[in-house]
Amino acid sequence: MGLAVVRAFRARGDSVAVVDKSAHAAGRAAGEDLPGQAIALVCDLATEKGPRQAVARAAAQLGGLDVVFGHAGVQITAPLEEWTVADWEKSMHLNLRAPFLLAQAAARHLDRSPTPSLIFTASTAAFRGLARSPAYGASKAGLVSLVRCLAAELAPRGIRVNCICPGLIDTPFNDAFWAGQGSRKRTLDRMLTRIPLQRQGKPEDVASLVLFLASRESSYITGQAFVIDGGYLAV
């Protein structure tokens, strides 16, 4: 999904800083032949200093920031009794603390933008129980609440804050989920019967929503959690 968003911004000519803890991943995304400029930054957003470093370096190299899209996340899946404090903290540090630190660091840069927008990736797991992934669901529910709090505080400065809540999107991020389900095919077939649009989402579906939330067309939208799940939560 993150790669699809990078491609979508660059396709319309925007300059983008791609942040990843993997130099290879960041470089590969930034190195694609697309119209908009791209730079690769290596930072671990799960650390206390990582989000601040990423924002500072991106703003310096791009000459400012208009949009910050916080997408990094982790999903750990295990039976309840096998969870450790380290597992829980790893989830919270990346899924919930990192967005807060990104917002904190980015706000002063976004103050200078004519179209300032903060966008984060939550999940439909914020609204429904997900067995064997308690920290994922709890952190994403916390992120939805954090977005509302940030939106309330930053609105007087003209900075909008929203999050997207993807459902079943066909990406490698779901590998941990599938690993805990036994038969991937049987589980997927069962889930598709409960999705009104009867398919998995595509990364491009998510990218279109992110571009809208970053645009002037969404200038009166803030503090919202946008579900993009083919109707799964609606039925």
Residues classed as catalytic: 136
> For the range 123-128, what are the long-range contacts, defined as Cβ-Cβ under 8 Å and sequence gap of 24 or more?
123/73, 123/165, 123/166, 123/167, 124/165, 124/166, 124/167, 124/227, 124/229, 124/232, 124/233, 126/165, 126/225, 127/165, 127/227, 127/233, 128/233
> Within the chain, what is the greatest distance between any pair of CA atoms?
51
- Rounded Cα distance between 36 and 54, Å, is 19
DSSP secondary structure code for residue 181 in this structure: S
β-partners of residue 17 are 39
- Rounded Cα distance between 16 and 6, Å, is 7
Identity of the amino acid at 127: F
- Rounded Cα distance between 131 and 129, Å, is 6
CA atoms within 13 A on the CB side of 27: 3
Q: How far is CA 101 from the centre of its chain?
A: 14
- Rounded Cα distance between 154 and 165, Å, is 21
Q: Inter-axis angle of helices 203-213 and 2-11, to 10 degrees?
A: 60
